[in-house]
Structure 1
């Protein structure tokens, strides 16, 4: 598995090995050992879910209260999507910056983002399926949003399509409005979540899984 740290601390791109044969392919988007080697602490499992989107659907930019926050591993099981990670942590050296990764079932890349980072994506094809592994269960009272078309962010959405936004995202505040209202997580609170955290699983390697 190849790992690339994003331009924002706490965000990573994972490119797993893909095992192909006449039947198709087998891929592991997440392994404990690969994650520990890259990030330095284990991923807690709170919820697994997926979304199904039409071309042009924009989901996000969403984030959660910290604590507890919600870390995510995101991959694309069908179609294609442009995934965006935004630094919403007040006090971070890269506050307001973003990085993006193209996710699809051919490269099988996945994105990990720590608690406190904002997440969004746009579906580039009809019938795009995004798969999520999240560290905690979804709590609607703890999740918030930043307007995905905020010019201050300047996110790299394609210009050759009409965007489909939920009412919630259409009415979301800008980054500046959310910061001035005191709604954003702080960099210190987010970093404190992982301070002195010790691995909870053995750091051995093994090749396993039914292919």
Structure 2
């Protein structure tokens, strides 16, 4: 199919029906948009986005099979082709792709504050943890003996007064329906004041890059 053929507007006729034109064509676009949103029982997209927008669901590269990789890639290729065609044909579709996904597609670097509107719960958690990581860095830079530093670290709490022990966090991606380990044996690696910054960095990298770059 040449470039001119690709630019022709679709004119859909459903099998067994007489009608053609805008009505069936808009219905086709609506049905396809809904199927893309519901693909893989809704697991193609991240659950819990506060604004209801669509962002790729994290994928565990350690457990996904080659067949599953092909399926996911084909679904996202279909979504991209569909969006492009809807733009060319000037069709309004109900496929609310997250602004963060568009940012990634144009190469924008994302950070903790990009989570604020996208996933407020995870943003709040990571901000709480960042206060602990910052305090740990301050303690490490103090001119005092190791015993004093360790004592100060033990008394460190989040901004809301919670200890890391109370949070019972492990090196798995938070707020996800499957356990995606951030490090080897992550489900048994507890988050402590000495590794909390690593945990924050890995969560952000996995959320925005490592676990979604396949899509």
TM-score of the pair, normalised by structure 2: 0.20
TM-score of the pair, normalised by structure 1: 0.20
Higher relative contact order (CA 8 A, sep 6+): 1
Higher helix share: 2
